[in-house]
Chains A and B, each alone.
Chain A
Amino acid sequence: MADNTPVALEVALLAVYSLAILLLIMVAYTILHRFLSLWQEGYAARRRARLEEAVAMLVAEETDPVRFLRQLPRADYTYAEELLLEYAAKFGPEVRSRLAPVFDATGALQRNRRRTRSRKWWRRADGARRFGLMGDANVSRFLRPLLRDGNVEVRMAAGRSLLELGATDWIDDLVQTLADPNLLSTLRIADVILGAGAQAVPSLVDFISANPGARGVTTALEILGDMRAVAASPVIAGPLQTSSSADVRAAACRALGRLETPDAVELLVSALDDEAWEVRAQALRALGRIGDPTAAPAVFRLLAGENPWVIFNAATALAAMGPDVHLQLEEAYRRRLATEAGAPSMLTRVLGEVLSPYLPEGQVTVV
């Protein structure tokens, strides 16, 4: 504004006009967007509402697929597909196999084939998901190539769908993708593998023994633990003793804790001397889970350590090892209370917490 030459003013005025026009366009666009999306939703809802009763009758086995198809206008095919997929997701395999011929007859399978060949990953993932709900085991040949897709969402949707269809020979392919550096992807793939249950154990065992240093090994170990795959326990010992990554060793401890096999205790006790405190802490947690009192002497040693988490986990583990160990722990606590003057040490407080978390009425700890 310093030089109010006409040119500068003119430019400013032009800016005012164009801003005003831009604003009007944005407001109009927003309202139009709202109008169109609400209209579209409303239209789809009306079309669906007309189909709802007929589809419910089909799902509840009141009408048979042939009669249903005869009454279904061609224009409603895509709406019927959406609706049937919703029902398929909510009810089990019997309902799905009942709906399979309808999906076939209304061209849903063909439309879905096109989805899985799309260049947009989310359309491929959507196609893979739909195939799983269509209840037709023949589509697994379209799903298998999607397991090698570049996008994790597509791989995962394909894996889950194959699982829904009852196929299992693909698990090996999916386990290999656990090596993905993105933890979120591996977690989601893990979810699918977990769903496959015991059939996945051989693939996971092969994966771990083939590349014990690979990225996905931690996740593979977690899955084996979650599945309580007792047969896999000898394989878990490998990474626990040889892996250079503390994460992998800690995961091996967690897995052993869930398996609760007798040889796990011995392995976990040897892990109590691990140089990484995370591994010691996880080994203690696992021992607490198993609760075998023969490990108690080794665990008592760790109460004298430095790291608060190791001390805490050691005390918790001991408290879970049955009445005899519990008595010893109480004894140790009383001795410490008697010898310590003034403020209690971290260990004493941890012991107090573990032995009796709830204080008698009116007694409050002051820090």
Chain B
Amino acid sequence: MTWWSTIVLGYNGLIFSYFIFVDTFYVVMTLLAFKAILTHLIHTRHVTPYRLYQSGMTPPISILMPAYNEAATIVECVRSMSLVRYPETEIIVINDGSKDATLQTLVDTFGLKPVQRTPLRPLSHKPIRGTYASPNYPNLLVVDKVNGGKADALNVGISLSRCPLFCAVDADSLLQEDALERVVQPFLQNPRTVATGGFIRVVNGCAVHAGRVIKVGLPRNLVALFQIVEYLRAFYLGRMGWNPTGGLLIISGAFGLFKTQAVAEVGGYLTSSVGEDMELVVRLHRQMAERGQEYEVAFVPDPVCWTEVPESTKVLGRQRDRWHRGLLDTLIRHRGMLFRRRYKAAGMAAMPYFWLVEVFGPVIELSGYVLIPVAAWLGLINWFAFQVFLALSILFGILLSVSAVLAEELSFRRYRSYGQLLALFGIAVLENLGYRQLTGWWRLRGIYTFLKGGHQWGEMTRKGFSKAS
């Protein structure tokens, strides 16, 4: 045996043990997730519908909606937010120096006039150019500011917010009517809750009318279709599984509810981070633990936020690249939490998981696609063993996606027809033959751009929501 064959063989062994370890971990998470889903179902099915909106004792919520070049969808989004049922909300749209007519569209549609508004929780941010409101829409405030990125825009929103809770949403997402009254519940059950997140679903392919999803459908576009299963998996298995452990590190930037005071105390969103949504949640975990305060970060599965996902591989690639850079950025900033018992599940389980599985996963997986055939070609392992390994890895990928589809079937069953169900299964199989590798590649590229020091945002082009026929 030569030295290089020892290296190749050793590396193959590493890949194999990594594979076993990660998959065992996934099985545990999936089981945890199923248990959590079933308990949750008992509540949603048997508890009489919540009538929180009548009591007048629920905490008011500021809905913060940063917008950058969203002229196509912004009005529909504001309308959709005003349809959300909750006793007291204020909608703050933050126009982050858009180059298109976002501000003008809002001013014209809602008859906005310039107003004075004093920041009562001053955070540092780029200058505000003006604030606008309308006597006809007393809950709406539009802020025009110098471009500074999403985190900076959210900080403006927090500064101007007058409510004890704020909900950060993307300007391209629609909230389900009962989303807020459900996502607020952890705050009522446990006053120490600092953040909660909800389920994000893909709106592509659904019929939208007047700011509401009126018919759930599947998109024709394959890239979007893959993402549907991917989102189901991420939310049912990922978030649901992490939730009971107390190590939930991600609340999607598209829909999360936070205690305004707690976020203002830790300094708001970090403008220098590309993954500001995850960074904030991790920082909350860290600071609360360091101050020795009891706290909770929770995920609630049924408040639904519908979001538009990219339909071209180019845009999707940029998005994933950015997500991965954001992940790396957060993990490196907070590397001090890794394996420290003080941070409980966040430091002992979630941080190691993100390093091992989310960051290095694609590196190991993609290198395996190259090195195992090389080893086989060199005659170090036989082709049959390679095929078995490949089959195992693909079958496991399918298993996770099928579990997510099963979880969906047992719980909310949004995709009503058999055709849609079969399509989801088809995607669960197909995504392992190409899509999975492609996302791995984008993540790898993300690591590369991160190391090179790139911090740009990928731009997303919007086509506007499809109208109901």
Contact = CB atoms under 8 A, between A and B. Distances in A.
Interface of A: 1-2, 4, 9, 12-13, 15-16, 19-20, 22-23, 26-27, 29-31, 33-34, 37, 122-123, 125-126, 129, 153, 156-157, 160, 182-184, 187-188, 190-191, 194, 219, 222, 226, 308-309, 312, 346, 349-350, 352-353, 356-359, 361-367
B9 A26 contact: no
A1 B12 contact: yes
Given A1-B389, A358-B113, A365-B130, A191 B189 contact: no
A364 B48 contact: no
A188 B55 CA distance: 8
A357 B129 CA distance: 16
Contact of A30 (B386, B388, B405): B405
Contacts of A37: 413
B454 interface: no
Given A125-B46, A364-B129, 14 more contacts: A1-B381, A9-B388, A12-B388, A19-B399, A22-B399, A23-B398, A34-B413, A125-B47, A156-B48, A157-B48, A182-B189, A183-B191, A194-B54, A365-B114
B391 interface: yes
Contacts of B396: 19
A265 to B, nearest CB: 22
Contact of A12 (B45, B47, B133, B389): B389
B136 to A, nearest CB: 12
27 contacts: A1-B15, A1-B389, A2-B12, A12-B389, A19-B395, A19-B399, A30-B405, A122-B45, A126-B46, A129-B48, A153-B46, A157-B48, A183-B189, A184-B185, A187-B57, A187-B188, A194-B55, A308-B120, A349-B116, A349-B118, A352-B116, A353-B115, A353-B116, A357-B117, A361-B113, A364-B131, A367-B127
B135 A20 contact: no
A33 B207 CA distance: 26
Contact of B57 (A16, A22, A30, A190): A190
Given A1-B13, A27-B425, A364 B382 contact: no
Given A184-B185, A190-B55, A222-B57, A365 B116 contact: yes
B391 A16 contact: yes
Interface string B115-144: 111111100000111110101000000000
A201 B293 CA distance: 38
Contact of B130 (A27, A187, A194, A364): A364
Contacts of A352: 116
Nearest to A187: B55
A366 B127 CA distance: 7
B10 A1 contact: no
Contacts of A356: 116
A367 B119 contact: yes
Interface string B47-62: 1101110111110000
Contacts of B42: 122
B16 interface: yes
B448 to A, nearest CB: 27
8 closest residue pairs by CB, A with B: A122-B46, A2-B13, A364-B130, A184-B188, A367-B128, A353-B116, A19-B395, A359-B114
B33 interface: no
Contacts of B405: 30
Contacts of B413: 34, 37
A346 B55 CA distance: 34
Interface in B383-435: 384-386, 388-389, 391-392, 395-396, 398-399, 402-403, 405-406, 409-410, 413, 418, 421, 425
Contacts of B47: 122, 125, 153
A37 B409 CA distance: 10
A357 B56 contact: no
A161 to B, nearest CB: 11
B372 interface: yes
Given A27-B425, A183-B191, A361-B113, A312 B135 contact: no
Nearest to A3: B13
Contact of A23 (B15, B189, B402, B410): B402
A323 B34 CA distance: 62
B392 A1 contact: no
A4 B385 contact: yes
A364 B185 CA distance: 39
A20 B398 CA distance: 10
Interface residues of B, number: 64
A30 B389 contact: no
Contact of B121 (A19, A156, A226, A308): A308
Given A19-B395, A353-B118, A13 B388 contact: yes
A126 B48 CA distance: 8
Contact of A366 (B56, B130, B375, B389): B130
Contacts of B114: 358-359, 361-365
B403 A26 contact: yes
Nearest to B406: A30
Given A16-B395, A364-B130, A27 B57 contact: no
B392 A16 contact: yes
A9 B385 contact: yes
B402 A366 contact: no
B395 A357 contact: no
Nearest to B159: A367
Nearest to B125: A367
A346 B122 CA distance: 10
Nearest to B120: A308
A219 B13 CA distance: 62
Contacts of B409: 30, 33-34
B113 to A, nearest CB: 5
A65 B421 CA distance: 45
A22 B395 CA distance: 10
B388 A365 contact: no
A1 B16 contact: yes
A20 B381 CA distance: 24
A352 B398 CA distance: 61
A30 B10 contact: no
The winner among B13, B403, B409, B418 for most chain A CB atoms within 10 A is B409
Given A23-B402, A33-B410, A353 B191 contact: no
A125 B48 contact: yes
Nearest to A247: B191
A283 B421 CA distance: 57
B185 to A, nearest CB: 6
Nearest to A363: B114
Contact of B135 (A2, A29, A358, A367): A358
Contacts of A123: 46
A2 B399 contact: no
Contacts of A194: 54-55
A311 to B, nearest CB: 9
B381 A4 contact: yes
B392 A12 contact: yes
Contacts of A346: 118
A350 B118 contact: yes
Contacts of B391: 16
B326 to A, nearest CB: 28
A129 to B, nearest CB: 6
Contacts of B392: 12, 15-16, 19
A187 B395 contact: no
B57 A312 contact: no
A34 B417 CA distance: 9
